[in-house]
Structure formats: structure tokens, C-alpha cells
Amino acid sequence: MRNFNLHLLLLVILGLHLSSVFSWKQDEFRNCNQTPFCKRARARKPGSCSLVARDVSISDGDLVAKLISENPEVVEGQSEIKPLILTLSVYQDGIMWLKVDEDQSLGTPKKRFEVPDVVVSEFSSKKLWLQRLSTETIGADSSPSSIVYLSDGHEAVLRHDPFEVYVRDGAGNRVVSLNSHGLFDFEQLREKKEEDDWEERFRSHTDTRPYGPQSISFDVSFYGADFVYGIPEHATSFALKPTRGPNIEHSEPYRLFNLDVFEYLHDSPFGLYGSIPYMISHGKSGRTSGFFWLNAAEMQIDVLGTGWDAESGISLPSSQSRIDTFWMSEAGIVDAFLFIGPEPKDVMRQYITVTGTPAMPQLFSTAYHQCRWNYRDEEDVENVDSTFDEHDIPYDVLWLDIEHTDGKRYFTWDSVLFPHPEEMQRKLAAKGRHMVTIVDPHIKRDESFHLHKEAMEKGYYVKDAKGNDYDGWCWPGSSSYPDTLNPEIRSWWADKFSFQNYVGSTPSLYIWNDMNEPSVFNGPEVTMPRDCLHYGGVEHRELHNVYGYYFHMATADGLVKRGEGKDRPFVLSRAFFAGTQRYGAVWTGDNSADWDQLRVSVPMTLTLGVTGLPFSGADVGGFFGNPETELLVRWYQLGAFYPFFRAHAHHDTRRREPWLFGEQNTEIIKDSIRVRYALLPYFYTLFREANLTGTPVLRPLWMEFPSDEATFSNDEAFMVGNSLLVQGIYTERAKHVSVYLPGKQPWYDLRTGTVYKGGLTHKLKATEESIPAFQRAGTIVPRKDRFRRSSTQMINDPYSLVIALNSSQAAEGELYIDDGSSFDFLQGAYIHRRFVFADRKLTSVNLAPASQGSAQYHSNAVIERIILLGYSSHAKNALIEPSNEKVEIENAPLWIQRSQGPLVMTIRRPNVGVADNWTIKIS
């Protein structure tokens, strides 16, 4: 009877969910015209802002001014427009922080929400305390502008009348500006009067809006720009398309509103699971700049096409190329950061200086993950695990979805299907493998469920507009949601991951946060009502886009607590916000098994990378539907290069483990997975680079070739680090594929070593065995060429170095190694080497600082193969110094497992220590 009731309940819940979002029912979601703040903002005309800057001064190291409305439009029902307070702060490395808020001293119904816990605490130490400001009358202005020094000859300019803020370089050229078109608008909070009707209705839902309209909108212009990128998450091109302007068909703005969307459409500006209100620009001028609005309310952003303002009468500098954008948010304050670059990697570094460096992942999590909704029981888990071994296919992580729990009660196990969870995990751990279980934010409202009872008694749930525990529907049925904005509640949640509280968990178990937008099946747009209340009286509308971020934060902190601060957490989250990179990985959500979704996975992952989230990927094979065999194979070939490499499938799909598609396809898929395992040393080194600098693992071509215009809108190919270029195949039965290889130096086919000229588009034969991938001349890529069951078992295996020589017969690369799991690397327990080949010599140089700290990491691993691609001379021997040993050079396979493949020049068994200083000179 229990199973029947659970099944019936699941059908009811699933029916509710699917009636809302299955197969993209567009009318279930609001468009701009159905969103009053968006509709109002889009109706504004250039020059409509009446604000001027007054009382400009320096206070506490900041430039401070009042924004006063002169000749304001009189709007019926509006109260008096009070002055706003502008604060402009300058920070090291070319970062400007701009705030505009209501003046609290004049009395407001409540304090507007400012998003906490995103800007890292150490950022405050980088503040440059302004001592003075200068004034300058610019152009034909009737009043002076206030100017402060920013960085490297750049200055921040506050134009008084009309109000405008911009950054200019030493030559007087603009970089980024705000309100150049006079579209700034700031709706102030009001006390509700009896006659006020502020309610908004959408379908069957009513939003009470107790403080009335409170939206903000303004224009931002990027100078020297040909394209803009960023503002995830959308299933669309990497270079953002114009959404308004001449000859542009009606388009919705890019929406930032975290939503649970089943089978989302490709090529759509509609918002998905996460939101990062951060945009970067790039152009043939060579300039890269960025703009970040720290605001967690719903946001809509227009990219304005050329000529959109032709009738405005506003004339902006015409000597620079420029892209104009228009930003609209339902609530919050102006809390914005301008990044001046000027290089692409400078902007990456500036952004993470504000929002935090990406977490250094555990090594195992950078390998291959096998997931399905759901592996049925312990026997199914054991069979899947053993069959990977039978086919000699490595994998590192097996995942369990919601069906592993007792009635969708998280932190529990179904006692019939998973009666021995600890033993199950230990069997995987014996092979160096790990398990991930799902933990979502909805807590089943069941008096017998201790987690619900405790949360209810402590008052830890989000409240509805009337102050009662909010009750919504999700997988368990009636559910409530912990208010993770509250630090006390986040700490309580983190404690639930201890081995004592999460009974059946072991040290090899890690976590998946799904549905944390938050998804509410019977809520408006399948999410929580906007007038729900959080800690401190904050309305859900004000923080919606950070709910999942706080849940992810609390979960990651829980795993750190569980390991007593010694074990790096692994937590995958579906919802995300700026700063999510500090807590773990994300993926692109519930995609579908079709070619268009394979294609769009690349720009989606690129976008996540350039907005601070280097650890991301798409479900290999597509979550929904049954991929045809060719599509699945192509997806594995591409997915092997995603930073996060996981196969995943819906429970209604046919089983699709790698060995179920015929022997030939099994071999091709296995080969793709093995390429990833061979490249793990390279990937792990790139994750360390991301951890230090914010530079993404998977990069747009223009990040490495910033002056090559042919790369600016290319999102079919991508760079993995600075050394590898990968081109996907996105059409079925493709006979040929065109690949653009940028730069003046040659490229070497990753699998054959065949050389191709740079700066050309090559038409290549499309083979079943692989997709095009190339190593850039002038680089050195570390590999591990022996294959084990998992990455954990490869720790002590020897390394290979693949040296791709450029026209000067030179190359360089790096290798980073640590214990792969602990935080000891923060105390200097790591190996970091730079390999340099020049003048017929390969030298290993230590990059770790001399004063590494008390901790140390030792490795006895050696380099057993050194492969030379493009070496112009014949040689028989090489001399190792300082040991004065001679080793042979011979022709050997480029890949050991492909013994029948092409032979390349190889220094065999030099067996030099990976952590040692040495030189190998070719005779």
C-alpha cells in the first residue's frame, strides 16, 4: 500500500510539474510585456533622465554626490522624488565600484536590499582612498565634471549635468559608461495608502508588492567593442545578439531569473537556472572591459543594435566603435563594478578580485562521472560499476538521484533498495571511486521527518507574505524551504552533512544540489512567490537569484565541516550566481538529446567560463530523450573536453551506459574517455590557473588570440587552456568539417601529430573515430598515458610531455601537482613546474615560491616519455643533466594505446623526477 501511495503521489506531483514546464510551455512564463517593470523601462526614451549631480565631495576615501531630479516628470500617484546618494570608490587593478541608493536619512519605508556574501572580504583591503578630485569642463558642457584617478592613466569621470559616469583612458577615449543615453530611472519605495493597488497578477498568482514599484534601469555603453558576452544563463550564441534596434525582429530581452525549465529551447534569450549579471566586451580595438551589477532581483537586459537611438538627438563620441546595452531590474540598488581590462585575462582577474577565486576541485571530480535518474538499487550500482571494469573504461564517480531516498526525504536511504549504503560506497572507494547523492532544498512536510520537525520548531523556513511557513509543492509533495539567507540557518544546514547526521554517508560521498532556483511546482513560473519573506524582512523578489547560491554555499561548507577542514568539497549546483565559483561546479541543466543542444552546449559553457565559473559542462547525451548512436558518440567526443564531464539521463530514457551501442561505438566512447584521463594532468593544471587568476579552463578563441577578428564570434570551436583547440561536429552524417586555426604558428593534430598552418580555415574529413582537436605550436602538454580504473589509482603513474614546437623550435608549458584532495596546497604543499624547450634543450624550472610554508608535497613520479612534434633535425641521443646520463631517441607511437598509429620522435625513459630541476639536451 505504501508503494502504491508513493507512486500515486509521484504521478500527481509530476503531473503538476509537467503541466507547467514540460516541452517548453511558453505561456507559463512571463515575457517583458507581462512584466510591468520591464514594460515600463523599455518604453522610456533616451534623454528622459532628469538627474543632475550636486554636492560632490570626497568622504571616507570615496567620491560622494547627491543625484537630484530637475524638472521631473509628474506621474500621477507618485510621491515626491527624493535625492539619491551616489558613491564612487576606486580599487587596485583598475576596478571602480559605483553605488546609487535612496538617502536613508530622509526616511524610507525600509532599507533596500544589498546582496551580502558575494563581494569577498579581502576586497576591502584593495581600496585606494581618494584624497582629492579635480574638475574639468568637457566639450560643450555648461558645468564641470568631477574626475578621480583610477589606474594606469585611466580616470573615472562623474559628469554633473546631465548625470553620467564613465571611465576614460590616458588618451581621453572612453572605456565604459553609465547613463550616456539618459535612460537612468530609480523607482523609490513608498508607504502604501488605502487607494494604492500595487498587486501584480500573472495567471492564477497574485503578487502583493507591499512597497510598490521599486525597479531600476539604466544604459551601459562599452567602447572599442564589436561584441559583448556573458550574462548567463541562456541557451544562445556566445556573442550576444542585439535584442532591439532597426531591422531587428521583435525579441525579448535577455532575462536573468533563475527558473526550472524542462527541455529548454536553444537560441533563446529566456532565463534558465542561474544568473550572473556580468557582461564583458571585446573588439578589434584590442580593448576588453566588463560591467557587473550586483543585484539578485529579476533582471532584463537589452543589447541595442546599431542605430537604436537614431532619433534621440544624443550624440556620443563617434571615433570609437561602441555597443550600447540597457539593464532593468525589479528591485535592489545600483551596486555596480566597472572593469577596465584592457586584456581579456585582465578582466577575468579583476572580476574574481571582487567575487572570489574559483575553488580548487578535487582531482577525482575533474575526471568522468556516470549519472542517471536513477540507478535503481545497490545491485544496479554494482553491475554498472563492474561492467565499466569489464570493458576497461575508466570512471570516477557514480551518482544517485532522488529515488535513493526514503520517500524523497533527503539525508535518508530507501531501506529496501539501498539497505547497505556504507558498504556500497566502500566497494567503490576500494577502486578509487566516489559516489554523489542528491540533496535538494525542499524539505518534506512530514511530522515524522526529524529534519522538517526541527526546521519548523526553530523557525528556519522561508515565510509566506502573511508570515507563515511557506508551503509549496516539489518532489516530496508538500514542502518547505530553509531560509539560507540567514547565516545561522546555513550553519544548521551545514551540520546535517556530518557522518552522525547523514547516516549512511562515508568520506567518499559528495553532494548534488538540484532544484535550488528554488523550484516550486505550484508556484508562479514554477518558483517561489516574490512576496515571500526571508531573514531581515527581505522579500523573495529582492534575493531570488541568490537563493540557490546560498544553498550551495551552505552545502559546500557542510562538507568542509564534515572533513574537519581537511577535505575539499565537491558540490554540483544547478542554480548559480556571481561568487558560485567559490563553492563548486555547475552544469547547464535539463538539456535534450538533439544536435542543436549539443551545438549550444559550447557557447553556454564558454559563457559560464568567462563569467567566473570554470567548472561547468553539459549533460553528455542530453538529459531528455534517447540520443541516436551517432549523436551520443559525438557528444562523448566533445564532452571529454568539458571542464565538468558527466553523462546523465532522465528515468524515462533507455539505458545508455557506454557499452550498450555495439562494440565499435563502445571502443570509440572508451577512447574519448581515455583521452580525458590522459589529459587529466593538463586539466588539473588549468584548474589551478583558474583558482589563481580566474582564467577559465575552456576559453573562447579570442581570449588567446585577442586581435584575430575571425575568432570574435566563433563559438563552434574553443580552447582548452592556451594549448588545445577543439572543434565539435554538430550535424549527423557529416562528411567534412571546417576548422579555423588562428594565429601565425602551426597546429598539430592531437591524435596524429599532422601539422596544419595557422591563420587558415581547413576543410577536414569528418571521421567516426574523433572530432578535430589540435595542439598549438609553442606549447608543452603534460599527459598520463597509462590507464587505470579511476584517476585516484593513477596518482603515482609516470608522465609524458608532448612538445609542439613553433617556427623558432621552441615551446613551453606547465604542470601543477598536489595531493588532489586536501587544502594543504594553500600552505605550499604542491609541485609547480615550468618546462621550457629552446636551443635543443628541455629545462624543468620550479615555479613554486621559495617560502612555500610549513606543508610540503612529495612525488616520486617520473617523466617516462618526451614527445617532440615538429623537430627539424634527426637525433639519436639526448643527455640528461646534472646526472650526465645518456638516453635514446626513437620513433614511437604518439599514443601508447594506438600502437598502429603514427610514429613520432620520442625520448624514451628519461625517468627524470617530476619535482626535480633538470635539463635534457638533444645531441
Query: What are the tens digits of pLDDT across the range 376-432?
Result: 999 999 999 999 999 999 999 999 999 999 999 999 999 999 999 999 999 999 999
Tell me the angle at which helices 663-678 and 629-639 cross, rounded to the nearest 10 degrees: 10
* pLDDT at site 185: 98
Q: Stretch 260-286: mean pLDDT, rounded? A: 94
CA pair distance 791, 431, nearest whole angstrom = 10
Where are the domains positioned within the chain? 35-231+276-355, 439-493+512-569, 702-922
- Is residue 268 within 8 A of residue 236, CB to CB? The reply is yes
Q: What is the DSSP letter of 545?
A: G
- pLDDT of the residue at 22: 43
Residue 886: pLDDT over 90: yes
pLDDT digits over 332-352, tens only?
A: 999 999 999 999 999 999 999
Looking at domain 702-922, its CATH superfamily turns out to be Golgi alpha-mannosidase II (2.60.40.1180)
| Opening angle at CA 239, ends 233 and 242, nearest 5 | 90
Whether 331 and 213 have beta carbons less than 8 Å apart is answered as no
Q: How high is the pLDDT of residue 16?
A: 42
In this structure, how many other beta carbons lie within 10 angstroms of the beta carbon of residue 405? 24
CB neighbour burial string for 708-731, b if at least 16 within 10 angstroms, e if fewer: beebbbbbbbbbbbbbbbbbbbbe
DSSP one-letter code for 42:
H
Pick from 21, 20, 19, 13: nearest CA to 473: 13
User: Residue 481 in contact with residue 489, Cβ under 8 Å?
Assistant: no
Bridge-partner residues for 8, per DSSP?
Answer: none
> Which of the four pLDDT bands, split at 50, 70 and 90, describes residue 9?
very low
Report CA Rg, the chain: 28
C-alpha cell at 471: 508551503
Residue 153 one-letter amino acid: G
Would you say 417 and 388 are in contact if contact means Cβ atoms under 8 Å apart?
A: no
pTM of the predicted protein model = 0.96
CA distances from 362 to 304, 566, 696 (A): 42, 12, 17
Q: What percent of the chain has pLDDT over 70?
A: 96
* In the predicted structure, residue 204 carries a pLDDT above the cut 80: yes
Mode of pairing for the β-strands spanning 288-293 and 154-159: unpaired
Give the whole-angstrom CA distance, residue 789 versus residue 852: 33
Q: How much is the pLDDT for 320?
A: 83
The rounded mean pLDDT for the chain is 94
Question: Which backbone phi and psi does 562 adopt, to 5 degrees?
Answer: -55, -40
pLDDT above 50 for 921: yes
Is the pLDDT at 77 greater than 70? The verdict is no
- Please tell me the predicted confidence (pLDDT) of residue 902: 85
Tell me, what's the pLDDT at 141? 87
Cell of 393: 573504461
Start-to-end C-alpha separation, the chain: 80
Cis previous bond, 162, omega within 30: yes
CATH pick for 35-231+276-355 out of 3.40.30.10, 3.40.50.720, 2.60.40.1760, 1.20.200.10: 2.60.40.1760
**CA separation for the pair 159, 489 (Å, rounded):** 44
Name the pLDDT band for 854 (thresholds 50, 70, 90).
confident
Contacts with 124 (C-beta within 8 Å, 6 or more apart), sequence order: none
Whole-number Å distance between alpha carbons of 866 and 843: 12
Give the C-alpha separation, 914 to 235, whole Å: 42
Distant-in-sequence, close-in-space partners of 80: CB < 8 Å, separation ≥ 6: none
User: Is 326 within 8 Å of 652 (Cβ atoms)?
Assistant: no
Using the predicted structure, report yes or no on whether residue 533 has a pLDDT greater than 80. Answer: yes
Q: Do domains 35-231+276-355 and 702-922 have the same CATH topology?
A: yes
Residue showing cell 580566474: 694
- β-sheet bridge partners, residue 763: 738
Q: Mean pLDDT throughout 746-751?
A: 97
Which H or E run includes 623? none
Q: How far apart are CA 432 and CA 449, in angstroms?
A: 34
Cell of 845: 624550472
Cβ 326 vs Cβ 302: under 8 Å: yes
The model's confidence at residue 863, banded by pLDDT at 50, 70 and 90, is very high
According to the model, what pLDDT value does residue 81 have? 85
Which residues are registered as beta bridge partners of 646?
369
Q: What residues have CB less than 8 Å from 371, skipping those under 6 apart?
A: 397, 398, 399, 401, 436, 619, 646, 647, 648, 649
| Residues constituting the chain | 923
- Nearest residue to 818 via CA among 333, 190, 362: 362
Q: What is the mean pLDDT of residues 172-195?
A: 94
Calculate the CA 529 to chain-centre distance. 26
Closest C-alpha to 91, from 132, 126, 50, 116: 126
- Nearest to 776, CA basis, from 812, 800, 801: 812
Average pLDDT of the residues in 893-908? 87
Exposed / middle / buried, residue 156 (Cβ in 10 Å: 0-12, 13-18, 19+): buried
Spell 687-704 as b/e; 16+ CB within 10 A means b.
bbbbbeebbbbbbbbbbb
Model confidence at 78: pLDDT above 70: no
Confidence of residue 240 (pLDDT cuts 50, 70, 90): very high
Q: What gap in Å lies between CA 532 and CA 515, rounded to an integer?
A: 18
The H or E element spanning position 288 is strand 288-293
Is 841 strand, coil or helix?
Answer: strand
Beta bridge pairs of residue 842: 837, 920
Instruction: Give residue 845's pLDDT.
Output: 97
Burial degree of 772 (CB within 10 A; 0-12, 13-18, 19+): buried
Confidence check: pLDDT of 913 > 70? yes
The residues carrying an active-site annotation are 514, 517, 590
Asked if 478 and 445 count as a contact pair (C-beta separation under 8 A), the reply is: yes
Range of weakest confidence among 14-28, 223-237, 285-299:
14-28
Distance CA 716, CA 735 (A): 17
Within 10 A of 201 (CB to CB), how many other CB atoms are there?
A: 10
> Which CB contacts under 8 angstroms, 24+ apart, belong to 505-509?
505/421, 505/422, 505/425, 505/437, 506/422, 506/425, 506/426, 506/429, 507/429, 507/563, 507/567, 508/425, 508/426, 508/428, 508/429, 508/433, 508/434, 508/435, 509/425, 509/434, 509/435, 509/436, 509/437
CA-to-CA dists, residue 772 to 677, 698, 740, 741, 753, angstroms: 18, 16, 11, 11, 12
Q: Which of 335, 175, 344, 340 is closest to 693 using CA atoms? A: 344
Q: Which three cell numbers stand for residue 917?
A: 630541476
* CA gap 312, 529 in Å, rounded: 38
Task: Tell whether the torsion through CA atoms of 865, 866, 871 and 876 is positive or negative.
Answer: negative
Q: Which of 51-55, 139-143, 330-334, 647-651 has the lowest mean pLDDT?
A: 139-143
Question: Which pLDDT value is given to residue 228?
Answer: 98
Q: What is the 3-state secondary structure (H, E, C) of 379-412?
A: HHHHHHHHHHHHCCCCCCEEEECHHHCECCECCC
pLDDT digits (tens, 9 = 90+) for 646-691: 999 999 999 999 999 999 999 999 999 999 999 999 999 999 999 9
Q: Residue 712: CB partners within 8 Å, gap ≥ 6?
A: 226, 227, 239, 282, 283, 284, 702
DSSP state of 360: -
Rounded CA separation 385/425 (Å): 11
Q: What is the pLDDT of residues 290-311, one digit of tens each?
A: 999 999 999 999 999 999 988 8
Structure-block grid coordinates of residue 920: 635534457
Q: How confident is the model at residue 146 (pLDDT cuts 50, 70, 90)?
A: very high
HSE-CB for 38 with a 13 A CA cutoff: 18
| CA gap 345, 539 in Å, rounded | 37
Task: Count Cβ atoms within 10 A of the Cβ of residue 172 and give its class: 0-12 exposed, 13-18 middle, 19 or more buried.
Answer: exposed
The 3-state DSSP class for residue 350 equals helix
